[in-house]
Structure 1
Amino acid sequence: MNKKYFLPLAIAAMIGASSCVKLTEDPKANLTPGNYFNTQSELDGAVTSAFRALAVDGAWGFTSKMTAYFGADDLTTHPESNKADSREFDRLQGTSTNSSLRAGWEGPWNTIYQANNVINNYEKVAATTPDAIQQRTYAGGQAYFLRGLCYFYLVRTFGALPLVTGPAEITVTPARQEPAKVYEQIISDLKAAAGMLPDKWSNSVDVGRPGALAARAVLANVYLTMAGWPINQASNYGLAATEAKAVMDSKKYDLVPDYLDVFKTNNNIESVFGLQYNVAGQLFQRSFGATCIPDDEGGWDDFFPEINYFKDAPVCKRTTETFYTTIKHKTLGPVSWDDPRTATKHPYYNKFRYGVGDGIVETPTKVISFNASTDKTTDVVRFAETLLTYAEASAMSANTVSDDAYEALNKVRRRAGLLDIKKGLTATAFRDSVVAERKYEFAGEFGQRWFDIVRLQLLPQVIARRDPNEFKDLPLNPAAVANPGPKYIAPIPIRDLNLSPGWTQNPSY
């Protein structure tokens, strides 16, 4: 039989193979299952390869992974320099030819391909003892988790997707499936992961691997998203609350006492799941350190918050720790962020400067040195999100606000240095308070604000609140201002669209 590859996936697979070789990963992790999956060690290598495929610089290891999310108010970028890709989406003028957009597409697809390889073949590894069977099952569970997680990011970013759960070599290019169908697969994968994995890995060498509770935390986020646009099924609020409450009741996670420590430490008590990095092992995290340090300090100026987003932040300890407002200018010395002599006249993110102590070296008046690459974990899900998911979902599902919901929200607020929300709110008013809390709890964090804007259809309000001096020489796309609806999803990268007969581009692109 003549066969052809699903080309976007095949290309992703080749990229993944080259990435793994560069990262000194055993290249056997990318061979075909027929001549590879013979031992648990080989199976574990394939799982590690899938994680690395997602973590590398061309995937989720650099700020390019956030390109499609620059329409949110917590992200903007330098008006000049080499930031054209981010500026496109910041102005709601994103295009399918945007080169940085591919990081948000190829990284997850490459991981899906490698996860499929494990899922379809892990049971072929001989296992005759209970411990061997368990280890084999754990490998399969991690693959299900990664596939569900990647599809979750892809469907929220690009909308309708092909559902590929078998080998990449197929007879036809698969059609794109509507989001509801994709969510069915995501739920199935995460439920499978939750049933196959330990609640939380206890061995220090396995810290950072997803457990059953991580799968349930992501599943809670999935259900919360499905309660909003585009699925709009309110019944999912109850399911989201149930999954989040299970994670809370496990007592395996908590908030770290100091908000800034979330961003200065790895795999802390708040980290439910995060991607791991190791500079010495050639696996670089480049979303901390140089990337968010101002050009006036010698940094890269890749992203920082919009002016009114910063101005609207509540007065509290978390806000002080989140934002960086005194620029240690290379020639002028310390100046305020809005000094007309600064390059962007914007505040910056303080919480992303440090990495795990390897991001920047500075004094109160000047920057001494900084790094482009750090070992800082990317926290994909942290316990604060689980608390806020529960608070919102439980109130909206019951149409009343329980004491537990108030406590979940107020626990996050207390850590921020804010007063408790007083009881007596309607469910909708309480939901709005939770969303306002999420807005600043997750400031600048990998699509968090954008995904809230999308599921709650908040783009008109975000556009209306934009400061008129926000790079006024680079105005927003007038068509998007008049009709923002099509901008809630990004375009399919043009190369992948051209390689996929039968696919049509998302509206307005």
Structure 2
Amino acid sequence: MLKRKIFFIPLICIISVFVSCEKTLTEDPQSIIAPDAFFQTEAQSRQATNGVYSHLPGIFNQTGLRAVTLAGTDLFMNQGGSATVEAIQDYNFSSATEANSHAVWKVCYAAIKDANFVISRISASSIDEETKAQLLAENKFLRALYYFILSNTFGDVPLWTEELKIQEISTLPRSPLAEVRAQMIQDLEEAAASLPARYDASNIGRATKGAALTLLAKVHLFNEDWQKAYDTASQVKDGEYILLPHYADLFDPYNKSKNNQESIFEIQYKRSAATNQNFVVNSFYTWFFPTGDATGGTYAGVDFGSTILQSYPQFYPTQYMIDLYEKQDERREVSLAWGFNGQEFDRGSKDDRPWFGPKFWDLTANRTASEKNFYFLRYADVILILAEASNELGNTVEAVAHINMIKDRAKAELLEVGGKLNQEQLREVIMKERAREFVGEFQRKWDLSRWGKLVEAIQRIANDSRDGATNVQAHHALFPIPYDEIVKNGKLTQNPGYN
């Protein structure tokens, strides 16, 4: 029986056999299913779709995506564990030296290539029309997601939606950002029309109607199309998704909060702690966990139990991030940690600073093998999209109501309803609220860039990031088009500000 849980299925052989043209194939031809002979059944089409999903765990576990979304923001400081990550923090990189964004480019385009292939083949298949519509919708959602990552990282990027040969792909020019987002909007509108609201337990992790609508609302938000952002986010209904009662409920360090009712789309990982079997794992927590002691068994002087954990702490919190939280804000003790289980750490992440907290930890991990899922979309984001769009549309009363939904869950001080905050002041509140709520969820760099606030944000933390504050410029809102890609493709142009 076909296992449909996304985290059990690696990139399937048929995709690499059919699509990859980079190397000569030497396999026995009788052992390979020709592409024209595949996609004849629902099971085959679903298996191919699972292959497009299977790029997600790798993209989100790579150093590249972590570096380009976390480093060089006002919330994280690098410990010096990686020269390329530190270069992003210091804004001291070029198109030839910046390897992290290049990794994002490569893996996202590999995923898009597969999505285009599967969309083309399923479209021409003779499977049941209802099943076909759903599988096409899933692949279009995924294609939009991959383009969302690419366009937020680079701006204008090559856009293609057809099944092309590798030689053709390597001659495509960059398409204007407006065209890329228009395609994302089309994909997501079509996906939302055919995706179900939910799945049974055997299909957890697949894209839903709510996921397509939420990502669509974010694209409209990034386009500053405030009315469409508001209208689309309003379709993601309260009740189908909820805010969990406590922020800590979202980030149980023993992974008991996976795929909860606030979660709209998660990147799925799986291992068995009982048998120590790894299926699809990540090492994200090791970048944030307290350093192990030389004697072994404890971490910064605190006993975490018998599980063998691993720490390569890449980041410590900026003072700005620490100061963002009121003492009573429940998010403070989830995102930051001064101790664990009643014991105080005997040293901080940097001088006397706290470590990043349980939000980032996986206490079921075995060394670097973690099954911690990553939120890509959750209901709190829908609420803050509604807040931001409402404010930009001039409805400050409604914006305050939505902001207070997030603050109330966190036990933070509420904004006064009908108070004296004007539109510009509420913008600042929303920017800080998104920092508190989504720290570490791959959003901060994209938010600062779309707001035009990156330079201001990095200069604000000059006491932490002296080189970053000196070097950062407006063009750093986007990363350079990878030098190697420009060498291979003469039609690619470079982003302004880079050689």
Matched residue, 2:490: 501
**In the TM superposition, what is the alpha-carbon distance from 1:497 to its structure 2 partner?**
2.2
1:286 counterpart residue number: 283
The 2-side partners of 1:326 and 1:244 are apart by: 38
Residue of structure 1 in register with 2:73 after alignment: 72
Q: CA deviation at 1:23?
A: 6.8
State the alpha-carbon separation in 1 of the partners of residues 138 and 218 from structure 2.
18
Q: How does 1:370-409 map to 2 (within 5 A)?
A: 371-397=367-393, 399-403=394-398, 405-409=399-403
Residues of 2 paired with 1:146 and 1:26: CA distance? Answer: 16
Alignment counterpart, residue 324 of structure 1, candidates 312, 318, 337:
337
Q: Deviations over 1:64-103 (max 9, x none)?
A: 3121231111222113x3x111101111123333333333
Q: Which ranges of 4 or more aligned residues in structure 1 deviate by more than 4 Å?
A: 22-25
AA aligned opposite 1:335: D
TM-score between both structures, scaled by the size of structure 2 = 0.83
Which segments of 5 or more consecutive residues in structure 1 lack a partner in the other structure? 1-19, 228-235, 360-369
> Following superposition of structure 1 onto structure 2, how do residues 66-215 of structure 1 map, counting pairs within 5 Å?
66-69=66-69, 70-79=71-80, 81=81, 83-96=82-95, 97-127=97-127, 132-169=128-165, 171=168, 173-198=171-196, 200-215=197-212
How many residue pairs get aligned? The number is 443
TM-score normalised by structure 1 residue count:
0.81
1:440 and 1:110 mapped to 2: Cα distance?
33
**Contact persistence 2:278–2:369 (CA under 8 A):** no
Counterpart secondary structure, 1:380:
strand
Residues in 1 aligned to 2:314 and 2:423: alpha-carbon distance in whole angstroms: 38
Partner of 2:44: 42
Residue 364 (structure 1) aligns with = none
Q: In the alignment, which of 386, 391, 410 is matched to residue 416 of structure 1?
A: 410
Are 2:468 and 1:476 equivalent residues in the alignment? Answer: yes
- Cα distance, 1:503 vs structure 2: 1.3
The Cα RMSD (Å) is 2.5
For the residue of structure 2 that corresponds to 1:293, the secondary structure is coil
Which residue of structure 2 aligns with residue 466 of structure 1? Answer: 461
Comparing 492-501 and 408-417, the one that deviates more: 492-501
Q: Tell me which residue corresponds to 1:334.
A: 345
**Residues 1:430 and 2:437 aligned together:** no
Task: Note the alpha carbon deviations across 1:82-137, whole angstroms, 9 max, x for none.
Answer: x111101111123333333333222221111111112112132223xxxx322221
Aligned to 2:358: 351
- CA distance in structure 2 between the aligned counterparts of 1:126 and 1:338, rounded to whole angstroms: 58
Quote the Cα distance in structure 1 between the aligned partners of 2:187 and 2:42.
22
Distance apart, 1:346 and its partner CA: 4.2
Distance 1:346 1:494, change over 3 A: farther
Q: Are residues 311 and 181 of structure 1, via their aligned partners in 2, closer, same or farther at CA, if it must alter by over 3 Å?
A: same
Residues 24 and 270 of structure 1, relative CA distance in 2, 3 Å threshold: closer
Matched-pair contact (CA < 8 Å) for 1:37–1:121: yes
Task: Tell me the SS of whatever aligns to 2:265.
Answer: strand
The amino acid that maps onto 1:453 is L
| Matched letter for residue 415 of structure 1 | R
CA apart distance, 1:285: 2.2
Whichever residue aligns with residue 253 of structure 1, its letter is Y
Alignment of 1:276 with 2:264, yes or no, is: no
Decide whether aligned partners of structure 1 residues 376 and 479 sit closer, same or farther in structure 2, where only a CA change above 3 A counts: closer
Other structure's SS at 1:163 match = coil
2:29 aligned residue: none
Output one character per residue of 1:145-185: Cα deviation in whole Å (capped at 9) or x when no partner.
Answer: 01111111111111110111112315471110121111111
Contact 2:67 2:85 in 1 (8 A): yes
The 1:453/1:427 distance shift into structure 2, 3 A limit, reads same
Q: How far is the alpha carbon of 1:339 from its aligned partner?
A: 7.0
Give the Cα separation in 2 of the matches to 1:416 and 1:385.
14
What is the Cα deviation at residue 300 of structure 1?
0.6
- The answer to whether the 8 Å contact 2:270/2:281 transfers is yes
> C-alpha distance in 2, partners of 1:246/1:402?
20
Deviation at 1:309, TM superposition (A): 2.1
Q: Which secondary structure does the structure 2 equivalent of 1:304 belong to?
A: strand
Q: Structure 2: state its 5+ residue gaps.
A: 1-5, 19-34, 272-276, 293-298, 300-309
Distance 2:65 2:188 in 1: 22
Deviation digits for residues 203-262 of structure 1, max 9, x if unmatched? 1111221111111101111111111xxxxxxxx10110001111035x210111121221
CA distance in 2, matches of 1:62, 1:307: 27
Secondary structure of residue in 2 paired with 1:476: helix
For 1:263 and 1:218, locate their aligned partners in 2 and report how far apart those are by CA, in whole Å: 22
In structure 2, how many angstroms separate the alpha carbons of the residues matched to 1:26 and 1:457?
41
**CA distance in structure 2 between the partners assigned to 1:28 and 1:339 by the alignment:** 48
From the superposition, tell whether residues 310 and 393 of structure 1 become closer, same or farther in structure 2 (CA, over 3 Å). Answer: same
1:309 aligns with 2:330: no
Hey, what's the Cα distance between the residues in 1 that align with 2:478 and 2:350? 36
Q: Distance in 2 between matches of 1:313 and 1:420?
A: 13
